[in-house]
Structure 1
């Protein structure tokens, strides 16, 4: 069969080795550049093959394809630059990570295909990231002002692939093979897995290290167990009850600020409520907010996460600069706290650092990492939920009146808000060993993705899933939907968020204070455009009309 097209991809597999991937064949040839200690992989595509047809689509001059081609060129130049640095090094271990990752990924896909798991066919260099971008552009739907179903805007590729391949499918970001699961029974089995079977993905430790450090949210097995053991008692209900007055005191400046603004405006005016809720934060949280945005912008390069953080880009420099500022701010807080006799969470973290040498950790790193995690989880996610609560109550005045009159109604409003806008829209786990989930044998290293947002808006489970109906929780979570375990705003299984009780109490107290003094209605300037920045947030802020009661 005649060769139609050849593509050159830089990698380092043994010379002459043949790679077989269904209809695509590749042979390696040694580089002619004496300073490039690598081999070329020449891909031969045949007319009519799926790879050839996909490549035809990728050659169309669309905006997304041009962007991918530009990135492809940048990465190839990067590899050539790295090869020059390699001149003085030994060639004995010169095996590039890309080839290992690609071959291992193909083995994982084969194991799952034998069990009936399907998915979109990946390309060698970009996996399915090019197709994801193409789908997002082709299927992007304008978000309606009153539409709570944002999945078609943020994650259209997941919706399309679920429709095409079923509730369980596999896709690739080159560095990661991701098993997407939205089958309720398999999700239930995932919750039964032990922490030694399923843990937090290792790639998060690298890609989100600046934001989370090595705190409670990223370690696995022994290190996770140690941190959870020392921190969990601080989130028992008897401790949280003692924080209610503190939460009320922290809310007072916000209430006074809004009352002053409204008094000067005749009792009613538009307020950007998201800005004010974020201004409640201290300098540490403000810097973490900047870090969150910077880190979330790198998620498009998740397939290259093994080395994207080493690229000398402006974004990477910004992340490192912010990381240093956050660390200095946290260390200043710790120094002040060392002179205090308060027996609080920060004291527990500081005391816990004395035993962190057992985990091979530096004491200062242990403290800073856990403070980062607590700041982000304790404030960032609660803040996002509060903002969506106010938006939904402004759009549904009848429920605003119910919540203002009955404390029990506030709880239902919060639960429904967490269903429609869970702060963390995806739950990611990594198989730390070969594990069986339902009838599926999942190989070690597989990334398992459970999209909370998809489960929370599953019409088979919830009925009118895209409607704001807090009364569905009138008899508790168990009666709210067909399968209670698919409601998971705080996670699922052994690694459920330890701060969920504190988050619920904080949301209830702050919302009760706000509703007792103010009424909220939609602003004509509000644009409903949820975006994904590690959490689900309003894309253009949250301006609301606020009236003093």
Structure 2
């Protein structure tokens, strides 16, 4: 009798679990697609219950890789040794380009159990950018599938949790605070500049550098010193492990149910790194609590975690005080240095490929910075450098997508988007649409920003390398200031040309980065 009861309970549990999976994997996505299809929003049908449209995405990518790559020809001269294609989004995400042609600028598809609404329609983008409702949050996969690197920090959280985090972190990146960090940025950049100059001199006036690696170290040093009260040497191991974690996690598919729980070698390595990073960050936080420091970002996170722990919302969110600290530190470590270092690398690559713009920026810097040292007041006058940075961010935005998740039904552009839909805006694809940017949309042309962002495009809302709306990147002032300081100092002392062996291949590793790095020949000015 007891055995029969146990068997009945087991069978009952299995049936309930099977029904739950059927609801999550089949019925819910089908209802979402049906509601959108009734409003004229179509897309490819999922070919797999577990994988959604992932098989088609892989097939389209494979077919694209077999085709000869088109290139955007630069001038044939010694100054332009390479042909560089800037229209990379259609090669890196060919499924989006193909389905956009087939279904229009708004279409739906799925990756695993995630139902996505791809948006490249500028009117819809404008409405999303103006929406301040907490009903548009972050999708759950950011805090689940990407939990080891993002957790529930400011990048991936939603609702009151996100609102509380933003109140803590945002003031630390206001323009007045950033201005106070400029001297620190100069000090850090000067250190690496001396190393580069010394190597150039020791190698007879010209040296080959893998600049992206050095720029990562530089950016990490700046964010460590400006926001965490320590230099890069103290946080070097944390940055190194985060970088390794980033590479591993970028190789997997997001949204496949249960995949992250399987005892695979990849998952075991991810869990090991996550645990080590967690312990290392808490160790830094513990040392901070045991000493007296000026109030910087880390101190504000520690106080914010304590205040959040005392609030009722803390218990309902399920985030421990330690996790609050670790997740937000990881978010700042990752976003605060990785994206800036990559953008600086792309900038120097482009200036090396287009020496006429390199000469123009250098002339401006030398004219404005008479002593060669930039300060907060002169940075605003660097118009040509600003144009180059803006054009670099247009063509090579480190962030790949703007993603929002509908926590409730919401109406945008007369379309009722049902609860549970993940809205996805491909940043670089929109920032290179010829109908918005003109026939030279895929060309490097900083002059388009001569009259600012409003003069560069028919719709200024089509430029959003730092995101849009209420969730725009809190660190954008820091990033732009840091880029100006780094580039102006380097260009005032050194000139760059592309290594003929350089392979131009933007790659997706949670951010858009040069797959093979950036190798440049460096000379003194």
TM-score, normalised to structure 2, is 0.85
- Inter-partner Cα distance in structure 1 for 2:17 and 2:321: 36
Alignment match of 1:135 (pick from 60, 65, 73): 60
- Inter-partner Cα distance in structure 1 for 2:13 and 2:46: 33
Alignment match of 1:409 (pick from 380, 384, 389): 384
- Inter-partner Cα distance in structure 2 for 1:354 and 1:174: 37
5+ unaligned residues in a row in structure 2: which ranges? 72-82, 221-235, 365-381
Corresponding residue of 1:396: 354
Corresponding residue of 1:221: 159
5+ unaligned residues in a row in structure 1: which ranges? 1-33, 39-85
The answer as to 2:386 corresponding to 1:428 is no
Alignment match of 2:325 (pick from 344, 360, 367): 367
Give the alignment's Cα RMSD to 1 decimal.
1.9
Corresponding residue of 1:314: 265
Alignment match of 1:245 (pick from 171, 178, 183): 183
Q: State the shift of 1:128 in Å.
A: 1.2
The answer as to 2:254 corresponding to 1:302 is yes
Is this contact kept in 2: 1:120–1:170, CA < 8 A?
yes
Alignment match of 2:40 (pick from 107, 111, 116): 116
Corresponding residue of 1:452: 427
- Inter-partner Cα distance in structure 2 for 1:310 and 1:88: 23
Is this contact kept in 2: 1:284–1:329, CA < 8 A?
yes
Is this contact kept in 2: 1:143–1:528, CA < 8 A?
no
Q: Pick closer, same or farther for the CA change 1:454–1:92 going to 2, 3 Å.
A: closer
TM-score, normalised to structure 1, is 0.82
- Inter-partner Cα distance in structure 1 for 2:14 and 2:401: 41
Q: State the shift of 1:102 in Å.
A: 1.0
Q: State the shift of 1:333 in Å.
A: 2.0
Is this contact kept in 2: 1:426–1:449, CA < 8 A?
yes
- Inter-partner Cα distance in structure 1 for 2:362 and 2:98: 41
Is this contact kept in 1: 2:105–2:119, CA < 8 A?
yes
Is this contact kept in 1: 2:145–2:255, CA < 8 A?
no
Secondary structure (helix, strand or coil) at the match of 2:335 reads helix
Corresponding residue of 2:282: 331
Q: Which has the higher contact order (CA 8 A, sep 6+)?
A: 2
Secondary structure (helix, strand or coil) at the match of 1:521 reads strand
Alignment match of 2:305 (pick from 330, 334, 353): 353
The answer as to 2:196 corresponding to 1:258 is yes
- Inter-partner Cα distance in structure 2 for 1:194 and 1:102: 31
Secondary structure (helix, strand or coil) at the match of 2:408 reads coil
The answer as to 2:191 corresponding to 1:268 is no
Q: Pick closer, same or farther for the CA change 1:513–1:336 going to 2, 3 Å.
A: farther
Farther off after superposition, 350-359 or 375-384: 350-359
- Inter-partner Cα distance in structure 2 for 1:88 and 1:506: 61
Q: Pick closer, same or farther for the CA change 1:292–1:498 going to 2, 3 Å.
A: same
Q: State the shift of 1:307 in Å.
A: 1.1
Q: State the shift of 1:540 in Å.
A: 0.9
Q: State the shift of 1:261 in Å.
A: 1.1
Post-superposition CA distance 1:219-242 (Å, at most 9, x none): 111111111112111111111110
Corresponding residue of 2:513: 537
Q: State the shift of 1:97 in Å.
A: 4.4
Corresponding residue of 2:79: none
Q: Which has the higher strand share?
A: 1
- Inter-partner Cα distance in structure 2 for 1:209 and 1:279: 24
Q: Which has the larger radius of gyration?
A: 1
Q: State the shift of 1:535 in Å.
A: 0.6
Corresponding residue of 2:443: 467
Corresponding residue of 2:170: 232
- Inter-partner Cα distance in structure 2 for 1:89 and 1:289: 45
- Inter-partner Cα distance in structure 1 for 2:59 and 2:19: 29
Post-superposition CA distance 1:28-71 (Å, at most 9, x none): xxxxxx9xx99xxxxxxxxxxxxxxxxxxxxxxxxxxxxxxxxx
Is this contact kept in 1: 2:466–2:472, CA < 8 A?
yes
Is this contact kept in 2: 1:521–1:544, CA < 8 A?
yes
Is this contact kept in 2: 1:216–1:373, CA < 8 A?
yes
Is this contact kept in 2: 1:435–1:444, CA < 8 A?
yes
